[in-house]
Structure formats: C-alpha cells, structure tokens
Amino acid sequence: MKINIQKANEYIANHRHQVVNQYRGKLHLLPPIGWMNDPNGFVYFKGEYHLFYQFHPYDSIWGPMHWGHAKSKDLLHWEELPVVLAPSETYDQNGCFSGSALVVDDRLVLIYTGHVEAGEERIETQCIATSKDGIVFDKYVGNPVISQEQIQRIADIADFRDPKMFKYGNIYYTVVASKTADSRGQILLFESTDGFNWQFKSVLLEGNQEEGIMWECPDLFELDGKWVLMISPIEMKRQQYQYWNINSTLVFIGEIDWKIGRFKVEHQHEVDGGLDFYAPQTCVNDTGERYLVAWMQMWNRTIPSHELGHGWSGMMTLPRKLSIKNNCLYQEIPRSLFQQLDVQGKIILSDKEAVLRLENSVRQQQYIRLELEQLGDFELQYAKNEHNQFIKIAYSQKNQILEFSRVGVGYAIKGKEEPYSDTRYMRLTSLNEPFILELARDTNSLELFINGQTMSMTFYEKKFAHDLVLKRENNFIKGCLELYNIS
C-alpha cells in the first residue's frame, strides 16, 4: 500500500501547478488535483475535524479510488494532508471505495469498501485501516472484516458498500448499503464488540420500487431524541418537486427497535432540493453538535472544469449544522462562516420600489441575507450579466414554491435525467415570519438556506457577472437585503 500512496502523493506534488484556479472556490474543500466525489470518514479526532474523500489524483474523471484527506479546526479553513488509502491488496485492488471513520481506543479507525473486478464479476467487501496519529494508516491484517459470505441470500455481493460505523451503548454498529434481488435499496446492519470482528444482525430498512434501484452512502445517528437514517438512492422516481436528480438523497426520521434491528420510519423527505448534492455524511464534535457535508456534484453530468482541461472536478458543500425541527432535518450555515463576513451593504426595502437594481454588487465570495416581514412573491436575479442571464431565485406565494435555476448561465451542464432540467423547485414548509433567505456563494457554487431547507448548485460563468436585481410583487411588505463579502 505504501508504494501506491507514495506514488499518488508524488504525482500530486509534481502536477498540482497545472491545475487552473478560475472556478475553484476559497471556502469549500476541493481536491488539490484530479477527481473528488463522496465524503468519507468525517470525524472529530484530537480537537480537529478530519474529512476523507473519494479521490482519483491522476485525472479529473472518475478512476481507481484512493482516499484523500484534509483537516480543519473551524470547518471553513482546510489543511490538505497526504493520501491515506490506495488500491494495493487482493481485496481492494480496483478501488478503496467509500466508508467512514471512528475513534476506537485513541486510534482512528477507517472502514471502507474494497472493490474487486474479476472479469464480469464484481465483489465488494468491508475492510479496515488504523492510525495512531490520524495521518498514516495501516490496513488491518484481518481484512476483509465483513465478507460476501456473511450476506449470501441476503444481498447482492456486487453492490455491497459504503459502511458507516458508530458506537451505541457498548456495541459497535456498521450500516452498509445494498440492494435486494429485485433491485430495491436496502440497508444492512452489522454489530461488533470490538470494532473488528463483525456479525450480521439484520436488514435495518428496505425500500420500495419507487425509492431507487440501489441505496448508497448510509449514515445512521441519533439527533434530538430521534434516529435519523440518510441514504443516497440511485434512480429514485420523481415525486412532484422532489428527487429530480438521477441520484437523490433521502432522510428517514423515526425510531429503531434494537432487539430486532429494524428502523421504523415516521417521516421522510429529500435532504437537499438543488442540482448538485450527493452522498452526505455527518460528524459529531466534542460538544455534541452534528454537522453534515456532501459531494457538491452529481453523477452522469458534464463537468466544465474537466471539459475545459482545468485538471480538477468535484468539491464538498459547506458543512451544515443539523437539528430536528417540525419533524424535518433542519440545516444551518456553520457559525464559523459569519466570523469571516465584511459588511458590503444593508438596504431597507422601500414600499416605493418594486424593483431594486444593485449594479456591481456581486462578489465571488459572498453571503446574502434577505428578510421580509411577510412572505410574498419575489424574484432575485443573482449574477446578472449584459445578456440578461442570471441565477434565478423566485418564490410563488400561491403555490408556496421556491424556484432555483441556472438556465442559460455560463457553460452548459447536461445530465442523464429525462427530461434534463437546470431548474429545481422546492415546496416551503413551516413558513415562519419574518421570512429569511440566506445565500452563500463561493466562485462556482451557490448554497441556499431557507427555513432549514437547502438547495445547492454549481455554475461556470464564461464571464464574471456583477449585478443583482430584486423584484417584489407586494412592495408594501417591509424587509431588508444585506450583502457581505466573505474574507
């Protein structure tokens, strides 16, 4: 393993200067070079947040998976660290796929999927690597720790991946993504007394035909007195305004019967309603706060940073603080972001102006807060250029629908959704007054926060646009528009 890791780290050091920075953000975790996808092993260890991720350093398209690594003290400023996992053994020779991390007896333990392709056969098993310092890892001599023999007649050994390990009481548990014989998603539950020797316990939850042909990247945790199961379904069917991406994200909120290992679903909804969001994973810190991060990209899409030869693809979302409110997963911008804000302008909305035009007001790192005493129809045209192209954020009070669109902005992005659309819609629930919309922009990304719900997107402007326009149908509604530079 060490030789392949050394090779990857040397390649990064020797080629990273070739990466084009035009669309690279300053606030988000990005790969130093090459391809990034799922977050892996998001964990709090020795006073710092560690975030590992699926990584192919040798090209800006998906390839044999390594694990990249970064750490942060505040979830905003990330320090790049060396690659920790690379394909090297018979059980992971074609990729070290997604997994998670847990602190076990002062060691940092990674559990990941070893991916093997033998002719037309594909085998996935669960493997472990350990570290005392959180930097250098050794693969466990007893790998794989969960093999295909343990799931025969229960699940498909070709689609058995993405273990998330946690401790509850005195028992270690791992949830693993899988699918049934008739191509429905399911999550398998395993248990262990030491974190290394695992036994199958149960099928924690299985989906119906509407909920995708395979579930990926599970995360299971307790939050505000409820159990939360997050999954990423492949090809989940659209449901009015939800699940429009070819691969979606879904959260179940409910209870667990630990005697039989079954999840009882009480509520469920899409995790993020935007265009670019997948494979979320969470971390809990030493004060009990839980944060989520996800891959801010989508499968089967064209990616301008790759097509333009910029040498990189993929990024992580801003970490989001989680809670349960009104039976939903509530997501908030991390407090550390607000410590980086410089006031750019605060505009009291006048009843004399139905249209507010702010020229040269858009920045590449920016936070915007729109507050209205009452909610009415509005349209925010963000990053508007001379060709009347802009990011559209619009609300219809009649339908209680928020529209989030990148149609016509920058380089075209295409996907395999049928039909493909660059617009997403979200029905807003639990609308409190005043109404507050928050927008975080970082070069090529926008993340929208509203009533604990979120929508995320990436975009690639051909020319940086500077203008912002706010239109209101009911201009008698009082409010305030605040703009901040993010330093």
**CATH number for position 365:** 2.60.120.560
Residue 269 near residue 251, CB atoms below 8 Å: yes
Instruction: For residues 324 and 440, state if they share a domain.
Output: no
By the 10 Å C-beta count (0-12 exposed, 13-18 middle, 19+ buried), 245 is classed as: buried
**Do both 344 and 331 map to the same domain?**
no
User: Cβ-count burial of 193 within 10 angstroms (0-12 exposed, 13-18 middle, 19+ buried)?
Assistant: exposed
In whole angstroms, what is the distance from residue 336 CA to residue 320 CA? Answer: 11
- Residue 83: phi, psi to the nearest 5? -55, 140
Total domains present in the chain: 2
The answer to whether residues 382 and 268 belong to one domain is no
Asked if residue 212 and residue 76 are part of one domain, the reply reads yes
38 noted as active-site residue:
yes
Q: Is residue 353 domain-shared with residue 331, that is, in the same domain?
A: no
Q: Are residues 218 and 253 in the same domain?
A: yes
End residue of a domain, out of 297, 312, 335: 335
Structure tokens at 141: 């001599």
Question: Does 276 share its domain with 377?
Answer: no
- Does residue 230 share a domain with residue 205? yes
Whether 310 and 396 share a structural domain: no
**Which of these three, 279, 305, 335, is where a domain ends?**
335
**Boundaries of domain holding 444:** 340-486
In terms of Cβ atoms closer than 10 Å to its own Cβ (0-12, 13-18, 19+), residue 104 is middle
Catalytic residue among 38, 92, 159, 162: 38
The pLDDT tens digits along the chain (487 residues) read: 789 999 999 999 999 999 999 999 999 999 999 999 999 999 999 999 999 999 999 999 999 999 999 999 999 999 999 999 999 999 999 999 999 999 999 999 999 999 999 888 999 999 999 999 999 999 999 999 999 888 878 888 789 999 999 999 999 999 999 999 899 999 999 999 999 999 999 999 999 999 999 999 999 999 999 999 999 999 999 999 999 999 999 999 999 999 999 999 999 999 999 999 999 999 999 999 999 999 999 999 999 999 999 999 999 999 999 999 999 999 999 888 888 899 999 999 977 778 899 999 999 999 999 999 888 899 999 999 999 999 999 999 889 999 999 999 999 999 999 999 999 999 986 667 788 999 999 999 999 999 899 999 999 999 999 999 999 987 778 899 999 999 8
Pairwise CA distance, residues 56 & 60, whole Å: 7
Q: How many other CB atoms are there within 10 angstroms of residue 169's CB atom?
A: 7
| 234 and 111 co-located in one domain | yes
Q: How many Å from the N-terminal Cα to the C-terminal Cα in the chain? A: 40
Residue count of the chain: 487
Q: Return the H-helix or E-strand segment holding 306.
A: helix 304-307
pTM, entire model: 0.97
Same domain as 87, residue 19: yes
Final residue in a domain of this structure, among 335, 363, 397:
335
Q: Are residues 29 and 107 in the same domain?
A: yes
